[in-house]
Amino acid sequence: MIEWRRKGAAFALVRAWFLSAALIATLTPREVAAQSGPSGSPETDQSPASLRGGEIQLERCDRLPVIQVKIGSDEMRFLLDTGATSILNAKTFWSGKRKEVHIANWTGTTSTLAHEIAIEELSVGGRSLRDIKLSAIDLSPIAHACGGRIDGILGVDLLEQFGLTIDFAHNVARLGGEPAAAPASPVIVEMELAMSGCSEAFNRGDVGKLMECFDPEFVWDTPSVEFHGREQVVDFLAAHYFRSKSGAHFWMKVRDQQAVGNVIWTSYDFTIEGSGVHDSGRGMMICRKSEGQWHILSMHQSLDRPAAKCGQAE
């Protein structure tokens, strides 16, 4: 049995990540199929030679899912976590400016001190992202617990940018293309019904109702704007989108959804149209049910083109 004795925000994050990944790893094959897509026969050949184009064989650190990542010319081992944002292990990446960061995981959003690392190129399965910045904290407790090297965590923010979907039932990751269609799980249907009024509240410019959709520690970030706390976000939305009498309208097309317990992440395309406003792009949203209520924990969005600048809330 693993005992967690150390204290502090960073260690609490590590513990939450380990428990989240362990939850996924301990699902039965039927449960994994329900959470992650269509299942196959238990005898399915998963050797590298049997992989189809765009598929990447996953590895394991004990029972935790791991994927090979290349940073520059160096091969790295990253833990896969669809309920967290991406982060580096400070034991591997020890340089960089130290600053306070807000990191999302399946239990919520936590503040901690971390090193900010600039990465020129990060590649998975031959697909690359360039000029990105990631935070680094000590992830050695996870590595010690599973008995292998862990250089970082590949979370939903980078999974969405890579267009990477995870099939835990077949122990592979897939690049590109639309995810395989599967019936929505009951918990996803429940969440969609509970949150259906949120888009309507945005379209009406209903600030009070919109506030109820967000968790108190809600995090929203784009390449140019980052807010922490639902008050800041709602103030920004009111100033940016709700100023005109005609308001703005939000459309969202879901690309993929994954559920683990009462936590759901959604990858989507979006468009916002209004007077003098046209924003479109892709996003990732994490929702969680707590004390019988669904709230949006975080939204991470990238725009097809830079958004028009406007006053930013302090």
* Residue 149 binned pLDDT confidence (cut-offs 50, 70, 90): very high
Q: Is the pLDDT of residue 32 over 60?
A: no
Most confident listed range (33-42, 155-164, 242-251): 155-164
Amino acid 218: pLDDT: 92
Residues 6+ apart with CB under 8 A from 141: 4, 6, 11, 14, 15, 18
Residue 304, SS3 per DSSP: coil
Instruction: For Cα atoms 267, 172, 116, give the angle at the middle one, nearest 5 degrees.
Output: 60
> What span, in angstroms and rounded, lies between the C-alpha atoms of 139 and 154?
13
pLDDT (average), residues 188-205: 87
Q: Is residue 67 very low, low, confident or very high in pLDDT (cuts 50, 70, 90)? A: very high
Q: CB under 8 Å to 262, separation ≥6 — which residues? A: 187, 288, 289, 290
Q: Spell out a b/e string for 138-158, using b for 16 or more CB atoms within 10 Å of the CB, else e.
A: bbebbbebbebebbbbbbbbb
What beta strand segments (E) does the chain contain?
Answer: 55-57, 59-61, 64-71, 74-80, 87-89, 97-105, 108-124, 127-137, 152-154, 164-167, 172-175, 214-221, 226-228, 248-260, 263-274, 277-290, 293-303
Contact between residue 259 and residue 183 where contact means Cβ atoms under 8 Å apart: no
* CA dist., res. 311 & res. 197, Å (int): 27
- What pLDDT, in 10s, does the model give residues 72-123? 889 999 998 877 788 899 989 877 555 555 555 544 555 566 788 889 999 9
* Confidence at residue 124, expressed as pLDDT on a 0 to 100 scale: 92
Task: Find tokens 């995981």 and name the residue.
Answer: 105
Whole-number Å distance between alpha carbons of 21 and 15: 10
Close Cβ partners of 144 (under 8 Å, ≥ 6 residues apart)? none
Q: Which is it for the CA torsion 119, 121, 124, 129, positive or negative?
A: positive
Q: Report pTM.
A: 0.46
